[in-house]
């Protein structure tokens, strides 16, 4: 019997193994599917790629090989996603997906984990009286990550979630939104969440822009209900509109709302019957914190908080600037409670409301080194507090982050104290908590004088705009094509050798 001894690895195989690209390093079932046509269906289409990904076990990837500024128009209904997949687009400026309001784009149910990046979703969903919960995306019991994406002019018709309806039924999925832009999306009459509707789960939103979104009920940009936590960092909310919670409403949850490094400007609550929260309304939410953030130019047509309205919610405001919010006879911050709750102001300024700037009912307010310009009827407890005019500059680009999807960005605007302002050096260093920078982030120290300033932005820190570099969106580039060719040649060589045996 002839026994063929193993031969030494050929140079190609050795090189692949040395580079960490041996077969053992390749996931057993994961596959990459490439979209090469803008057609609605058929070989090379987005629909076919996701059908193939659904049928393939493992964490698959969908990539795109299309000309710049391509448009995919779906005309035969939404695309279901049932398995873990990563959809990596070429960048929101290079690819738009639309249904022309005939349906949503993706529906994800029990799909494990789905990642979406580098895409623009526009003019999808439904027009009232039709209903499409989640004008662009529907996600149930699926952890969803969205990055470097744009959502524009999508609508859920008479249902909730102008762009996304995110829900859970017995699980706790996570929604993560980063570096994305939401503009002019809407949820119709009686519906919540002009951009995002969140029911259950955990939501983390950062470095994103929400502008011009609207809902017919509550939460012009975001409505969060019965969630396990909503965290918002370094984001912009401007010109969003709803009857209550012009930008955000959180309701009926033990989960907390935590907001930092964000600016809310020009948002409006339109209801005249007493609802409010020109920017934010928190109803029965867990103990929440807002810090290093700015609220200005927000309005309400009702009587409950032109910037922030609280109902049976404890809230801490730390180094927050709330100035020039109008329309409420109850001030910029209105807090009500039927059980033990607290409103705590730390190094915070509330001014320019055209009324008592802070008012409460059923709970007391405590301040530490804060300035409330008009304290009529408030009875602010605590120590180191001030009243009178704060002498703040206008909302402007005073340096800091530029956020949103590449090509669709916005600077985070702030309000600096004017020289001689009582806000300068009158904050409490001991009460800063973990803050080391002001709202503008790295390079802008929280303390530049003898003490921190009151408010979100520190006087004297300079003006340097920290623009993020353009995102690198992974695609099947030259290296990937080269490695694919090498692997193909290698495996083809093995097959030829076997045939020759």
What is the CB-side half-sphere exposure of residue 451 using CA atoms within 13 A? 18
**Cα–Cα separations (whole angstroms), residue 329 to 151, 165, 178, 304, 367:** 35, 34, 36, 7, 21
pLDDT at 285: 85
Report pTM: 0.88
Q: Could you report the per-residue pLDDT of 23-58, keeping only the tens digit for each? A: 444 444 799 999 999 999 999 999 999 999 999 999
Q: Could you report the per-residue pLDDT of 231-281, keeping only the tens digit for each? A: 999 999 999 999 999 999 999 888 999 999 999 999 999 999 877 899 999
Domain boundaries, the chain: 242-482
Phi/psi at 486 (nearest 5 deg)? Answer: -65, -45
Q: How many residues does the chain have?
A: 501
pLDDT at 253: 87
Tokens of 476: 């099947």
The residue whose two tokens read 């408010």 is: 455
Strands 333-336 and 371-372: unpaired
In the chain the first and final C-alpha atoms are separated, in Å, by 15
pLDDT at 20: 43
Is 70 exceeded by the pLDDT of residue 15?
Answer: no
CB 81 within 8 A of CB 107: yes
User: How far is Cα 165 from Cα 301, in angstroms, rounded to an integer?
Assistant: 28
**Closest of 71, 77, 76 to residue 89, by C-alpha:** 71
- The most confident of the ranges 6-10, 33-37, 310-314 is 33-37
Mean pLDDT score, 154-164: 97
- 462: confidence class by pLDDT, cuts 50, 70, 90: low
Q: Give the residues across from 199 on adjacent strands.
A: 167, 225
Instruction: Let me know the angle formed at the C-alpha of 147 by 143 and 50, rounded to the nearest 5 degrees.
Output: 60
User: How far is Cα 474 from Cα 427, in angstroms, rounded to an integer?
Assistant: 45
Which H or E run includes 478? helix 478-500
pLDDT at 386: 97
């Amino acid at each position: 019997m002839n026994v063929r001894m193993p031969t030494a690895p050929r140079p190609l195989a050795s090189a692949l193994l040395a580079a960490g690209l041996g077969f053992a390093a390749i996931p057993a079932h994961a596959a990459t599917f490439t979209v090469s046509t803008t057609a609605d269906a058929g070989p090379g289409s987005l629909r076919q790629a996701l059908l193939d990904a659904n049928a393939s076990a493992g964490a698959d990837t969908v990539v795109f090989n299309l000309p710049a500024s391509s448009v995919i128009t779906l005309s035969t209904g939404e695309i279901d996603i049932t398995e873990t997949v990563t959809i990596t687009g070429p960048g929101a400026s290079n690819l738009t997906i639309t249904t022309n309001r005939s349906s949503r784009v993706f529906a994800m149910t029990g799909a494990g984990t789905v990642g979406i990046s580098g895409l623009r979703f526009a003019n999808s969903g439904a027009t009232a009286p039709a209903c499409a919960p989640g004008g662009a995306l529907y996600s149930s019991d699926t952890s969803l990550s969205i990055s470097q994406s744009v959502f524009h002019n999508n609508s859920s018709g008479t249902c909730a979630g102008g762009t996304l309806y995110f829900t859970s039924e017995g699980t706790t999925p996570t929604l993560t939104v980063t570096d994305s832009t939401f503009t002019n999306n809407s949820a119709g009459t009686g519906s919540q969440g002009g951009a995002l509707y969140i029911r259950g789960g955990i939501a983390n939103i950062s470095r994103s822009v929400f502008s011009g979104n609207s809902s017919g009920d509550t939460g012009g940009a975001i409505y969060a209900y019965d969630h396990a936590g909503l965290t918002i960092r370094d984001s912009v909310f401007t010109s969003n509109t709803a009857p209550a919670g012009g930008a955000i409403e959180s309701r009926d949850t033990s989960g907390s709302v935590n907001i930092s490094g964000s600016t809310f400007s020009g948002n409006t609550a339109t209801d005249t019957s007493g609802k409010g929260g020109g920017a934010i309304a928190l109803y029965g939410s867990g103990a929440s914190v807002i810090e290093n953030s700015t609220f200005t130019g927000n309005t309400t047509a009702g009587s409950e908080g032109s910037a922030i309205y609280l109902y049976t919610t404890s809230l801490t405001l730390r180094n927050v600037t709330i100035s020039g919010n109008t329309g409420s006879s109850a001030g910029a911050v209105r807090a009500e409670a039927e059980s033990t709750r607290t409103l705590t102001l730390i190094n915070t300024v509330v001014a320019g409301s055209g009324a008592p700037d802070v008012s409460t009912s059923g709970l007391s307010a405590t301040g530490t080194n804060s300035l409330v310009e008009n304290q009529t009827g408030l009875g602010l407890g605590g120590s180191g507090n001030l009243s009178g005019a704060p002498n703040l500059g206008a909302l402007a680009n005073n340096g800091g982050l530029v956020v949103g999807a590449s090509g669709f960005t916005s600077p985070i605007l702030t309000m600096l104290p004017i020289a001689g302002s009582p806000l300068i050096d009158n904050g409490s260093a001991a009460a800063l908590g973990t803050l080391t920078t002001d709202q503008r982030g790295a390079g802008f120290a929280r303390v530049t004088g003898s003490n921190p300033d009151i408010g979100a932005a520190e006087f004297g820190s300079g003006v340097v705009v920290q623009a993020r570099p353009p995102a690198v969106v992974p695609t099947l580039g030259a290296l990937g094509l080269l490695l694919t060719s090498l692997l193909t040649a290698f495996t083809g060589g093995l097959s030829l050798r076997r045939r020759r045996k």
